[in-house]
Structure 1
């Protein structure tokens, strides 16, 4: 059931959209031809900032092509004024659960090993919350890529630091792993984030968080060191998407300490490489868009909403969940099957 505050926010949002749409229709009446109308709508819809969601798309259909900036900025203003972009407690407790699936919260470095989650061929990853992992910009000692000297891939970046320096979470999320790998990462921490990423922090001298702890961007999670396979103090930092290593330098400009863009688009086969070791291999997963095995019910969800969101049908959901065959009763936190 929606709270009074959430209802008020929805009413305000709808009111703002109605006013803007009315203005859009007034401008649209000045168009000269139907052909021009259709062309304008296509341009704006294509250019509208996808992060602003349905608001931008609705506005785009009612404003001409000269108002692309207005469409995006107004939709962003609605989201920001109502705090629609802020992470909720549920986002942090169950980060990216719809993407990874319940089975992926495990103690394996590759969360999808033995799981049946589907890796999408394209996925937008928000980077705007990024916080540099150290207190101050540091030199990159070694980048992402194949190391001929050692005849193996290096799946992250090595950032220079002094032993004991504070290491911070680069995004908000929940700690999935706190472990020790004596022949590799040393003392390390893995955090899963609501934006779809998992980040790894290796060679720590001390871990300051425990598994399942919720952390916010900038929180201290460890102290720098040189544990594991290391020739000197540094932070080994990785960014991974569903077990697939992404080059951190394609996401982040480490010279300035900020993302290259607010949004990074993961595309299958582009700038990614699966780890060839059995520990990180994700090749046993199937690539399929918008299909998940399980779904955790959120506040305000209905079966029809879940079906539309996950690309299935209410009938199919009922078939997979016997308890829903006679009743539509679902509660926040319930996990239901939505795919074979």
Structure 2
């Protein structure tokens, strides 16, 4: 090989070697859009997988399984848990509470009773998945249990009709039933429960029915203080937060200032032994008027603590 040929070969080899990084950079440049697309595909696939898991079993990090056997079954509570209350819908437009969370008639009342009439629309409080649709003659009557993505489960009892089915996905505000008087009930109302890991929390911790709003964007649940906080919430937002006259009468204008009722509408809290006849005499009205105002029958048995409208 002549020196000239050897020189030419060396120059060509040098050029080839020096071009390798450039070719590598060109290859990386061509590959970058592909990598970005693959990353986007991976992200979409991951998000879809997460969403499918959420739809399959909402709040799976709190609950061990998804089953339709029990309305509620208490499991281990976390020490603390932040519950997202954004995106809520009040389950009813009624602002009138008739019974608080807590001790009642010698037993624990695990929810709030809200005055509704037969046929009133009941809506899902948050988005989630319907876990139970059932009838319980000596308890909730026709009721619905929904597990929500924020970790809560809500229970809607004594309805006249259920409008959803088990395992159905629902959005906040979607109609799930109609108000009623089924099961162990003394008058048409909505029994509304909020539970975390099967343990009943006072709905007044999160919901303000009188102002038709939630109390904040989030509720920070703490296992060592939620019961004390629940008692305070009852004093602030429960039945007893209104103005009582003679211990048995509520002036609605004070109890629910934002309510769209006439300010002279009054309610009577039934005492032990009272009847429709005795209440009518006391309030200067008639049995027929009481029955019409409260949509009840003349032979209905009154229970202590029951709330009746009398004018």
Give TM-score, length-normalised by structure 1: 0.51
Q: 1:226 aligns with which of 143, 163, 181?
A: 181
* 1:1-340 alignment, distance < 5 Å: 4=37, 7=40, 88=51, 90-102=53-65, 104-112=66-74, 118-134=76-92, 136-147=93-104, 150-272=105-227
Structure 2: distance between partners of 1:232 and 1:262 = 33
Give the distance between the partners of 1:4 and 1:252, measured in 2 at CA.
44
Q: Does the 8 Å CA contact 2:142/2:183 hold for their aligned counterparts?
A: yes
CA distance in 1, matches of 2:39, 2:192: 38
State the distance in 1 between where 2:56 and 2:36 align.
20
C-alpha distance in 2 between matches for 1:229 and 1:3: 60
Contact 2:95–2:211, Cα closer than 8 Å, also in 1: no
Provide the rounded CA distance (Å) in 1 between the counterparts of 2:53 and 2:156.
24
* Runs of 5+ unmatched residues, structure 1: 11-83, 274-340
Distance 1:226 1:97 in 2: 33
Which consecutive unaligned segments of at least 5 residues does structure 2 have? 1-34, 229-311
Structure (1 or 2) with the larger CA radius of gyration = 2
Contact 2:95-2:212 at 8 Å conserved across structures: no
Is contact 1:138–1:161 with CA below 8 Å preserved after alignment? no
1-side partners of 2:118 and 2:51: how far apart? 35
RMSD of aligned alpha carbons: 2.6
Matched residue, 2:23: none
Q: Distance in 2 between matches of 1:240 and 1:222?
A: 19
What count of residue pairs does the alignment treat as equivalent?
A: 189
Instruction: Find the residue that maps to 1:226 and give its secondary structure.
Output: coil
- Deviation by residue 1:23-51 (Cα, 9 ceiling, x = unmatched): xxxxxxxxxxxxxxxxxxxxxxxxxxxxx
What is the CA deviation profile of residues 181-222 of structure 1, one whole-angstrom value per residue up to 9, with x for unaligned ones? 111111100000111100000000011111111010001111
